[in-house]
Each structure stands twice: as structure tokens, then as C-alpha cells.
Amino acid sequence: MLPLCLAAMLFCGCDDFVETDAPNSQLVTSAVFENMTTANAAMADVYSQMRENGLISGKPYGFSCLLGTYTDELISYESGEYTSGDFYNNALLPSNEYIGLLWNASYNQVYACNAILKGAGESTALTAAQKNQLQGEALFVRALIHFNINNVFGDIPYVEATDYVQNSTVTRTPTVTVYQNVIRDLERAIELLPQDYLTTDRIRPNKATAKALLARVYLYHEMNAEASNMASAVLNDTERYRNEPDLDKVFLKNSPATIWQLAAGAAGGNTDDAITFIFYSGPPYIAGLSETFVNQFEAGDLRKQHWIGTVTEGTTSWYYPYKYKEDLATASSMEYTIVFRLAEQYLIRAEARARQGELLGAKEDLNIIRHIAGLADTTAQTQAELLDAILQERRSELFTEQGHRFFDLKRFGKLDAALGTKAGWNATDVLWPLPQAELLVNRFLTPQNPGY
């Protein structure tokens, strides 16, 4: 359900960042923003919730796994409730447990962001710079979550309030308005966020982080000139970002190509992505890369060599994503879950340029990514050929990273062509069903998405 109260999410474990107990959520809300230490901890708790329960989590119920099985990247070896089985078989029902979990987690995190926006804005103890930092981060996260859930559920409520009565009867916002709101929030976040990161490990967003998301939003919204310009704003920041030529180092937590990442849950911890995907004996525990996907790489593509692991028993081989390589704790954390990285910005600009007819510039951006992968320049010549080449490059570069493959096929209008032969696939699977429990609680969310 949409959040019931502030204490249910952001301030439920007030001992995490407020050393003394408070008698009710209203008092806790006020106390949190009396100093930057507790206010920062409140924001950090949002990122923790995103890592543990959110759409961008590396756990089996995050986009990376679920949308990988939903499309043509992964084969699910699971069945039953709380598994990827129904996603792989395209047999989703409104009662699916993961659908409800992700919806609830997303809106709890949105609610927490709204509480931070309100609390920081009303604080008399925080400096203007501190308020800007917190509100910029909260706006960025609110935009990211709404953007993601819109792309799997379609029209969804764009929640900007902390009033429970108001939130309990929210209606679905048309997609075009969702995009307008996301763009508005990100433009404001860019104004508020600092150029520099708060810490060296890039776990708190800065201006470039919001610009990277805005470039993606513009591209999805077919605002190609704006997408190209915004991606350029990130790519031109060569003091902070540069390509990592060693593919084995791209997903290390200190990679210079990382724009924003989620910290591990404990000292010495690494990523849930590695835990989810790596296996040592067949068949896979959760999911494995499909043989069709593995075979789609061009000859000589170093990503196949460095980013795919293989387990062979007898004459049978299984494959897994090996971008993140540490599935156990290490003396100090070596890998964090990367949410935005430089390669996507090159591919965003390449596509935006190609759609505007700027084929030379599009080729230059595409070839930068191909060269790192050990490949020669693209042979694409026409606009149509170049767009197909960019889609293919995104498939090879961004696999099992927060659902890019599903979103790309959807944007290119190729979901049915790519997945039409997949068992259970229907054209209406372009959207997930809204959770049945939500429709029962709030009749204003009806009607259910087509096909469910």
C-alpha cells in the first residue's frame, strides 16, 4: 500500500540515527532535522532501503534479475511464490508477491523523500547549503523511483505529499505528466546539488548524477536534442569521469567511469548483484544467462570474456553475469552496485544524435564503447542501420543492469518482435499488472492494466 505513516518507513528505526527514543513520529520528524548528522543519516537510510528492497536492488527481486528474466537475457530456474519464475514465464498476476513488494517499497521510499523535503525545508537549524543538499538528493530519488515504476506499470500516482489521507486516495497520473514531473524534479535537483560528491566513493548524488538521469529521461521522452546536450554535460566533465579501459575494473567501487552507486550494507560487504547471479555448480540457483544471449556477442568482444562466467558439468554449460566478481565479504568493500556509469551516457548521446540525423557524431560515440570492448568501428551507414547497431551495443554493454534491455526494446517498439516466441508472451505484457491489494484499498487506481 502507499505509506501509512512516516514512522512506517523513514523513521521506524529511529535508533539507527537518533540515539534517543522519541514518543511519536512527529517529534522524531522534528528532531531529525535539528542537525546535519541525523539529517544525513535519514537520507542514507533511503539509499539503504533502495539497496535492500528497491527496483534498483541487486537482489533477486530487483529490476536486474526480474526484467532480465522477463526479456531474453536470463533463464529463470525458480518456481513458486517469491521467485522470478512467473516473470520468466510471462505469467504475472495482480496477486504476484514481488509486484506488491516492489510497488510498496517504491512508494515507501518516495514517501521518505517527501518527508525529507518537508523536514529540511522547515528546519531552522540547517544551513542553506545543507538544505539544498538534502532537498536535491530527495528530489533526484523521487524522480528516479517514479520514472522507473512508470516504465513498468504505466500511469502511476506521482506522490508529492506526506499527508496520509491525501495519499490514500491518489489517482493515476498520465505518463506524459509523470515525465513532466520527473523532468521538473530533476531540473530543480540539478540547481540544488553540488558539483562535488560529499564523499570519494560517489554514493551520494551530485549535479552530474541528476544530469545523467535527466539525459535518460529526455531520451525516453523523445527529446533528443535535450538528451544529447545533457549527456554531453556529463561526458564533458573529464575532471571527474573517464572511461576505464580495463573491463575487469569497470565495476570496482573506485572506477572513474562510475557516476553514482549504492554502498554495501556492511563494512567489507560487496554487491547483492554478485550474490544473486554467481553460482558454482549447475543448474543455477536463481537464474542464468540464456545461450542465445551469450551467442549474440560479436567475435572478439572482450565483454563476453570478462563479463560472463561459465560453469560446465559434463557436456552441459551454464552462464552467469560476471560484471561483479565478489560474492563474499572482503577485507574492505571492493564493489558497490553501480546505478549510473559513463558508458550509458555515450550510448544515450549516440542514439539521440542518430535520431536527429547527426550520424557522424553518433558513430563516434558508439565506436568509443566498441573500442573499449576490443571491437572495430561500426559498419552501420544509414540512420536505420545505426539505430539497430546502437540497440545491439546497449544489449552487449548494459545487460543485467537495472532492466535496460526491457526498456530499450519497449522504446524501440521491438518487444513483440524480440519476445513474441517466448512462452507466455502477450503484447499486453508491455506493462506489469498493478498490485491487486492496492486496487482493493484505493478504487481510484482502477482500471487494472490491460491483459490482467
Task: Delimit the domains of the chain by residue range.
Answer: 6-18+25-265+339-418
CA 422 to chain centre: 25
Please determine, for residue 208, whether its predicted confidence score (pLDDT) is greater than 50: yes
| Whether the predicted model's global pTM rises above the 0.85 cut | yes
Neighbours of 417 (CB within 10 A): 10
Torsion sign across C-alpha atoms 17, 19, 21, 24 = negative
Residue with cell 539497496: 51
Q: Which residues of 266-285 are buried (b: 16+ CB within 10 A; e: fewer)?
A: eeebbbbbbbbbbbeeeebb
The residue with greater pLDDT, 155 or 31, is: 155
At 27, the pLDDT band (50, 70, 90 cuts) reads very low
Q: Specify the pLDDT at position 9.
A: 40
At 2, the pLDDT band (50, 70, 90 cuts) reads very low
The residue with greater pLDDT, 29 or 148, is: 148
C-alpha cell read off for 33: 532535522
Q: Rounded distance, CA 30 to CA 276, Å?
A: 39
Topology (CATH level 3) of domain 6-18+25-265+339-418: 1.25.40
Give yes or no for a contact between 240 and 263, defined as CB atoms under 8 angstroms apart. no
Task: Quick: pLDDT tens for 70-108.
Answer: 999 999 999 988 999 999 999 999 999 999 999 999 999
Task: Quick: pLDDT tens for 345-361.
Answer: 999 999 999 999 999 99
Q: Specify the pLDDT at position 164.
A: 74
Task: Quick: pLDDT tens for 241-281.
Answer: 999 999 999 999 999 999 999 999 999 999 999 999 999 99
Q: What is the DSSP letter of 248?
A: G
Task: Quick: pLDDT tens for 377-402.
Answer: 999 999 999 999 999 999 999 999 99
Give yes or no for a contact between 68 and 403, defined as CB atoms under 8 angstroms apart. yes
- Is 165 in a helix, a strand, or coil? helix
Q: Specify the pLDDT at position 4.
A: 35
Task: Quick: pLDDT tens for 299-335.
Answer: 999 999 999 999 999 999 999 999 999 999 999 999 9
> What's the whole-number mean pLDDT along residues 55-84?
96
Q: Which helix (H) or strand (E) holds 340?
A: strand 337-341
Query: What type of residue sits at position 299?
Result: A
Q: Rounded distance, CA 109 to CA 137, Å?
A: 12
Q: Which helix (H) or strand (E) holds 258?
A: strand 258-262
